[in-house]
Amino acid sequence: MKKVSILITTIVFGFQFSSCQTNTNNKSISDKKPMETSYNKTDEEWRKELTPEQYHVLREKGTERPFTGKYTLTEDKGIYTCAGCGTELFTSDQKFDSHCGWPSFDSEIGKGDKIKKIKDLTLGMSRTEIVCAKCGGHLGHIFDDGPTATGMRYCVNSLSLDFKKDSTGTK
């Protein structure tokens, strides 16, 4: 019985750990090409403007390790923007704690025109990748298992976001 309990715990933890991940290795992956977009920046310009970690996530579709992102537990009021181009993507009112290790949101700002959804078949799974519609930066993935009224969970890398705190300073 004890072995079954350990096996189940291991399987559940493994599923939760991989639920938002694509690649947790911070090294550049040679077989993945940087995101192509009409946003007029060269690869060299992106490398100069972003940290190496941001470049890996936004341009090479990497993933930060769970529970390490600076916005995972943020509760301040404000707007979350794309770290690549500044496009407003999410509000703090759309954020919730999904306990998955990455910032989670139940919807996006606007009418679905800020974030592009792309079928992702990597890692032997069928998921939906989310990217910034303006600059093509990889944000994370979207799942239909959210606990809020929308039923959606936008699982987003903190490295792909910036945060503009509400000037009133209220929570």
Closest by alpha carbon to 81, among 115, 36, 121?
115
Residue 155 among the catalytic residues: yes
Long-range contacts of 145-149 (CB under 8 A, 24+ apart): 146/96, 146/98, 146/104, 146/106, 147/96, 147/98, 148/96, 148/106, 149/106
What's the rounded Cα separation, in Å, for the pair 13 and 4? 14
Q: Which among 20, 82, 100, 155 is annotated as catalytic? A: 155
What's the rounded Cα separation, in Å, for the pair 165 and 64? 23
Closest by alpha carbon to 71, among 157, 135, 4, 132?
157
Maximum CA extent, the chain: 59
In this structure, are residues 134 and 35 in contact, taking their beta carbons and an 8 Å threshold?
no
Supply the residues annotated as catalytic: 155
